[in-house]
Amino acid sequence: MAASMQIDFQTDPQNYKHWKLDFEGPVATLTMDVDEKGGLFEGYELKLNSYDLGVDIELADALQRLRFEHPEVKVVLLRSAKERMFCAGANIRMLAGAAHDHKVNFCKFTNETRNSIEDASEVSGQKYISVVNGTAAGGGYELALATDHIILTDDGSSAVSLPEVPLLAVLPGTGGLTRVTDKRKVRRDRADVFCTTEEGVRGKRAVDWRLVDETAPNSRLDEAVAERARAFAEQSDRVGEGPGVSLVPLDRTIGDDVVQYSLVSVEIDRAGGVATISINGPDAPPPADGDGLAELGAGSWTLKLARELDDAILHLRFNETEIGLLELKTAGDPAAVLAWDAFLAANSGHWLVREVVHLWKRVLKRVDLTSRTISAVIEPGSCFAGTLAELAFAADRSYMLIGTLDQDNRPEASMTLNGFNFGTYPMSNGISRLETRFLGEPESFETLKAHEGEALDAEQADELGLVTFAFDDIDWDDEIRIFREERASFSPDGLTAMEANLRFAGPETMETKIFGRLTAWQNWVFQRPNAVGEEGALRRYGSGQKPTYDRRRV
């Protein structure tokens, strides 16, 4: 598989190869019809509605457009255009030939995409129904598991399965094990049988074991789907009206060492292994109300910035794998950032405002889950306030300058908290970054609420525990340099494991299990000869030869 190809996460429905969107009032149908010859890389065919990253990039785009461009949609039907095949899951030839980092990043992205289905259901009033005709295997069943309701065709052959362990010597990579037990509450012994049965489970047993919600014969399938869609639409709290916001292509230029957007720039120091992500604050005040935001559309500061930052993070994940440190900087007026936050808070009932806030929540989670060291550099002229302060709290370390620098007339660095820092943007563990930061000091967390709205200088921010270090101009450059050099000297593997362990303190949720336990185990399994060796299951799948396993439990 070509490793040097740049992967682009921008697409639109007119360029989809694998999905089709149709609309009928409050119901949208998202149909999977994977083009066998349309793989992202050479060396495999996407048979049986199997997917690679390219298929999932389109799916992620469709989910985003359903939320922003179609406020009228309350129910989304997930269907297949293939006869007797819902989805065969991740393409095995792709997995067998992919580099290790691509496999792991692929699993992470597909998990984030499926989480966005559940997020749309929870906070956007868009309920998802999977209509499973034929086989839903592996990642195909995991896709269905992310939806609210699964209808399985009762035709004697349609089945759901998670056959990765018996067939491929790997794990279901997109949350299947966790969703079966934690979401669908399948009994442990039954889950054990299910996950070691190649042919899967069908019909009444699938319903009895809670692997699906209902079955319907072919003669009644469309009627059953319509009934369920009508019921979900009636329960939805989605109140969007009028046209949605068109998610126009991002203004982006990619150079050798620079990625330039309108509000975000990424400068890459390859020798040092550092990417500096610079974010510009607002250059215009917010509109008067939610309808005004809709008129600004994708050009509004808050929506445009969220989309650009998300694209930049994905670009670095997949296309710049040797860049180990992401350094976050901001520039602008903190009061302007806070004004936009105040606007979002005051208009929280508007459907578009709600979508923008929850997009920021997902983008910040994407930052949390990115396997790179993240630092925040809070300098004069920065605007780490409210929503943008969350980036500093997402960082593994934060450095803040005391006072100013010689011949620098920018305002002294400050940090300002508002209500958005106390629960609007929960992490995967279900609590805010500040609450996670002060797990052992609940009194410190409560103290912070008394400082909402204050422009805190470096010494105050340091005293309140909001930054890791505050340095004056004498030590500033040296401390930043030493940190960069130290980080570059450590093992990337050790750092990835350490950071992932440290970032998600506090409660465990289905998300933390998927991104912590599952990702860690899958990362390990993808290195094992039993899966990826010359005689391993991924290599020999479909060859007629049985894999040869090292039988030691390690």
In this predicted model, what pLDDT tens digit does every residue of 153-208 receive, in sequence order?
999 999 999 999 999 999 998 899 999 999 999 999 999 999 999 999 999 999 99
pLDDT score of 1 more than 50: no
**For residue 365, what pLDDT is reported?**
98
Range of the domain at 40: 15-235
CA dist 133 and 151 (Å) reads 9
pLDDT tens digit string along 277-313?
999 999 999 999 999 999 999 999 999 999 999 999 9
Looking at the structure, tell me whether residues 169 and 217 fall in a common domain. Answer: yes
pLDDT at 333: 98
pLDDT of residue 519: 81
504 falls in which pLDDT band (50, 70, 90)?
Answer: confident
In a domain, 533, yes or no: no
What pLDDT sits at residue 296?
Answer: 96
pLDDT in tens, 393-421: 999 999 999 999 988 999 999 999 999 99
* Cα→Cα distances 56→20, 52, 109, 157, Å: 13, 7, 8, 27
99 and 33 within one domain: yes
Residue 264: pLDDT over 80: yes
243, part of any domain: no
Residue 2: pLDDT over 50: no
The CATH number of the domain where 113 resides is what?
3.90.226.10
Are 272 and 211 in a shared domain?
Answer: no
Instruction: Please tell me the predicted confidence (pLDDT) of residue 521.
Output: 84
Whether 292 and 396 map to the same domain: the answer is yes
Residues 223 and 335 both lie in one domain? no
How much helix, strand and coil, in percent to the nearest 5, is found in the chain?
45, 15, 40
Q: Based on the domain organization, do 258 and 231 belong to the same domain? A: no
* pTM metric for this prediction: 0.96
pLDDT of residue 114: 97
Instruction: Provide the 8-state DSSP code for 517.
Output: I
Number of independent structural domains in the chain: 2
> 111: how many CB neighbours lie within 10 A of its CB?
22
CA distance linking residue 84 with residue 202, whole number of Å? 13
What 501-506 contacts at long range (C-beta under 8 Å, 24+ apart), as own/partner pairs, is 502/396, 503/368, 503/396, 504/368, 504/427, 504/428, 504/429, 504/436, 505/429, 505/436, 505/439, 506/429, 506/430, 506/431, 506/435, 506/436, 506/439
In this model, does residue 518 exceed pLDDT 90?
A: no
What is the average per-residue pLDDT within 246-275?
Answer: 97
* 141 and 286 assigned to the same domain: no
Say what the pLDDT of residue 554 is: 77
> Does 271 share its domain with 150?
no
453 located within any domain: yes
Range picked from 3-17, 61-75, 89-103 for highest mean pLDDT: 61-75
> Is 242's pLDDT higher than 80?
no
- Of 458, 474, 502, which residue is a domain's last? 502
Residue 515 lies in a domain: no
My answer on whether 323 and 355 are in the same domain is yes
What's the rounded mean pLDDT across residues 380-399? 98
Listed residues 235, 269, 294: the one ending a domain: 235
Phi, psi of 69 (to 5 degrees): -95, -10
Confidence of residue 4 (pLDDT cuts 50, 70, 90): low
**Whether 100 and 191 share a structural domain:** yes
What residues are paired with 401 via a beta bridge? 471
Same domain, 198 and 267: no
Q: Is residue 2 part of a domain?
A: no
Q: Is the pLDDT of residue 215 over 90?
A: yes
Give mean pLDDT, residues 344-350: 96
> Which of these ranges, 1-15, 42-56, 299-313, 370-384, has the smallest mean pLDDT?
1-15
Q: Is residue 244 part of a domain?
A: no
Q: Is there a single domain that holds both residue 316 and residue 410?
A: yes
Q: Are 229 and 129 in contact (CB under 8 A)?
A: yes
Return the percentage of the chain with pLDDT > 90, whole number. Answer: 93
Between CA 315 and CA 459 the distance in angstroms is 35
Q: Determine, yes or no, domain membership for 28.
A: yes
> Of the candidates 502, 534, 549, which is a domain's last residue?
502
Q: What is the mean pLDDT of the chain?
A: 95
Residue 443 lies in a domain: yes
